Every structure is written in structure tokens, then in C-alpha cells.
Amino acid sequence: MTAPVIDIRGLVTRFGNHLVHEGLDLSIPAGEVMALVGGSGSGKTTLLRQVIGLMRPQRGDIRVLGQPLFSGDLQADRALRQRFGMLFQQGALFSALNVLENIAFPLRELRWLDRETIHDLVMIKLAMVELEPRHAWLMPAELSGGMVKRVALARALALEPELLLLDEPTAGLDPDRSAAFVSLIRRLRDQLGLSVVLVTHDLDTLSALATRVAVLGERRILAEGTLDHVMKQDHPFIRSFFGAARPAAGGR
């Protein structure tokens, strides 16, 4: 087995008096699509923010792609951040830049690619996320919700990351679009050989995309493993999460 893409050991997170994570351990192997699930306030998004280095945990060690996020070496930290891509829940596109400039932004930041190459790369990424070249000139405010997600995905993939992080990738999309987006992510993952970590509430997304599931609850990981393995666990939260959602998902 290859080295884990994300390795979390003894993570402690605290907001004031509110303890979010207490000695949380999680290891995500390379090449998997790992879904983080959990109730509201179980610290899923917090965990994701810590993994991408937006927040520093009070205690514990997080290694992404085998390296610490805050090594003290600015160049190394920056290089590490160029090796993973994040798709934010609302897309987080730069509203003052058009689609082309949004996707080109991380490429321009490398400062060694010329304009034509960047343009070509953006066009390839646009095609990858199934958008048309004419969409490149639209502003983020002119895009539909599904297109925002696609553009944000293209931007996250611009630097050819090894690891892709998705925060609620299908939230706010109707079932059709959500299914299309899920199959797009799956196709890209196969094509590009990505490891994927996603946070989701949606059981359809989960079952369609995830190869492994980690359940957050009670300030730690309640269960981790394949979907079947996790669903067999006897825990009130897991029962209600999968149990309540299953008939609804099946009834569609």
C-alpha cells in the first residue's frame, strides 16, 4: 500500500470552551475517494479547513501528501499547497475575474508559463469539466449554480493536483445536475488518477462516489472503512444517518 495522502494523528480542536475534536486519528490512503460524513456541528468542515491549512489545530499532527502543512519553510509550504486542489462549497470564484481568468489564476501564479500556453491549458480544463469555450468570457455572477461548481472544479484541477478536496460538491444542485457532477468527478478521478476527499450530506453522492467512508461524531472518528463496512456498525448516529436516508434514496 502506498503512503497515505492525509495522515491525522491526535487532533484536538477547541473553539473557546467547545471541544470539536478530541484526539482524532484518521489516515486516508492514496487513490481512494474518502467521504467524511457526520451530523451538523460534528466538525467536518473544520477538519477539512485544517487539512488545507486554513486553520491550525490546537494540538495534533496533520500531514498532507507526507508533509506537514506548516513546516516553517515558506517555499515548501507553498509548493505543498500547489499539490492539492480544493472545491469550496460556494465555488469561491473570484467575482471580479471572468471564468478564463479564474482558471488561469493559479497557472499565472506559477510565473513561468506564457500567455498562449495558459490559454490552451484553460481551454483544456474547461473541456474537461464539460463547459464550452464561449463560457470562458462569462463573469461568475452570470453562471448558474452547476456551472459555478464546474468552473471551480476546473480551477481546483488547474495545477494538476494529486489530491482533490470537495466541500459538499453537490449541495445546491438539483438531482440531475448533481448526478452529472458526480459522474464528472468520477471520470476525472479515473482519468487523472486523483485521490479525493469529500465532505457531504447527500447519501446519493456518497454511494455513487465514495470508496471509503469516515463517520465523524462524538469528537472523533466513529467508524471508517468501505461503505458496507461502515453501514454494518451498530451506532445510533450511523443507524439514523444511513437508515433514514436509505428509503428516500431507494424510492427515487
Residues 6+ apart with CB under 8 A from 60: 8, 9, 10, 11, 12, 21, 23, 24
Residue 250 to residues 49, 85, 153, 243, Cα–Cα distance (Å)? 32, 32, 29, 11
191 binds other proteins (CB under 8 A): yes
Interactions with other proteins, residue window 146-165 (CB under 8 A): 159-160
Residue 116 contacts other proteins per CB under 8 A = yes
* CA 21/CA 217 separation, integer angstroms: 9
The stretch among 49-57, 107-115, 169-177, 244-252 that binds other proteins (CB under 8 A) is 107-115
Q: Does 112 bind other proteins (CB under 8 A)?
A: yes
50 grid coordinates: 485544517
- Helix 115-128 vs helix 99-110: angle between axes, to the nearest 10 degrees? 130
**Please, which residues bridge with residue 223 across strands?**
215
Question: How many residues belong to the site for other proteins (CB under 8 A)?
Answer: 25
Quote the least distance from Cβ 97 to other proteins, whole Å.
Answer: 8
Using rule CB under 8 A, residue 179 touches other proteins:
no
30 binds other proteins (CB under 8 A): no
Contact present, 207 and 249 (Cβ < 8 Å): yes
The correct pick among 67, 95, 144, 240 for binding other proteins (CB under 8 A) is 95
* Among 93-101, 165-173, 207-215, 236-244, the segment contacting other proteins (CB under 8 A): 93-101
The answer to the question of residue 141 lying near other proteins (CB under 8 A) is: yes
